[in-house]
Chain A
């Protein structure tokens, strides 16, 4: 079965420290990979995507993500966390075998402490 795993329900970091939110997937083919953030006051927002090319992709609000094909991972990163980064983060994988289908992870809640 195709699946997306976000192994951490919650991640806590101090403001100014780097953050990583992990995502691994098990799907067939070469999927498209996405990260979204759900903020209390800004709703669900698209952050970045990987389709092909450079394994490090940059997105909104200073976030970046690293694609690792051998480990089937797509971890979200930011060099210096802000309190305003506190949100629920979703990894999503779009597969295109037998039609397109997007699978979301269960989400990881990020808390950034001042």
Chain B
């Protein structure tokens, strides 16, 4: 989507390795989010950020960490990848809490 980029569409990694997914936005939006999409679960929030260096946990944050050192970049790290983290990961941005999200194109991560 225009204004938000997820650097990889597909990624395969091995169990136990660290993995970092990058989200980059050019919209200067304050809020950034990482979601995972799994069949039957919709979209579940992993972590979100409400400003540079300001982040908070979502409902499925275990095993994940995030960092936001610049307004435009939000990194998601799987500290030690497990098979249960095989999923499609979406980054999203919003200008305010009342706005709809703009989503990135997603990264399909497979942990083998």
Contact with A along B84-98 (1 / 0, CB 8 A): 000000101000011
Of the four ranges (under 10, 10 to 19, 20 to 34, 35 or more), the interface on chain A belongs to 20 to 34
Within 8 Å CB of B58, what residues of A? 101
Contact with A along B43-66 (1 / 0, CB 8 A): 111000000000010110000000
Structural contact, B42 and A43, CB atoms closer than 8 A:
no
Within 8 Å CB of B45, what residues of A? 101-102
Structural contact, B42 and A104, CB atoms closer than 8 A:
yes
- Interface residue from A45, A94, A105, A106 paired with B97 (Cβ < 8 Å): A94
Number of residues on chain B facing chain A (CB within 8 A): 22
A94 to B31, CA, bound (A): 14
Q: How far is the CB of A31 from chain B (nearest CB, A)?
A: 11
Structural contact, A36 and B40, CB atoms closer than 8 A:
no
Within 8 Å CB of A34, what residues of B? 100-101
Q: Which residue of B lies closest to A4 (CB)?
A: B42
Structural contact, B100 and A36, CB atoms closer than 8 A:
yes
A96 to B97, CA, bound (A): 9
Structural contact, B100 and A43, CB atoms closer than 8 A:
no
Structural contact, B43 and A104, CB atoms closer than 8 A:
yes
Q: How far is the CB of B100 from chain A (nearest CB, A)?
A: 3
Structural contact, A46 and B101, CB atoms closer than 8 A:
yes
Structural contact, B100 and A104, CB atoms closer than 8 A:
no
Within 8 Å CB of A36, what residues of B? 100-101, 103
Contact with B along A1-37 (1 / 0, CB 8 A): 0001000000000000000000000000000101010
| Complex A-B: 15 CB contacts under 8 Å | A34-B100, A36-B100, A43-B103, A43-B104, A43-B105, A44-B101, A49-B98, A49-B100, A51-B98, A90-B43, A92-B43, A102-B45, A104-B44, A105-B42, A106-B42
- Give 4 closest A-B pairs by Cβ, nearest first: A46-B100, A104-B42, A44-B103, A104-B43
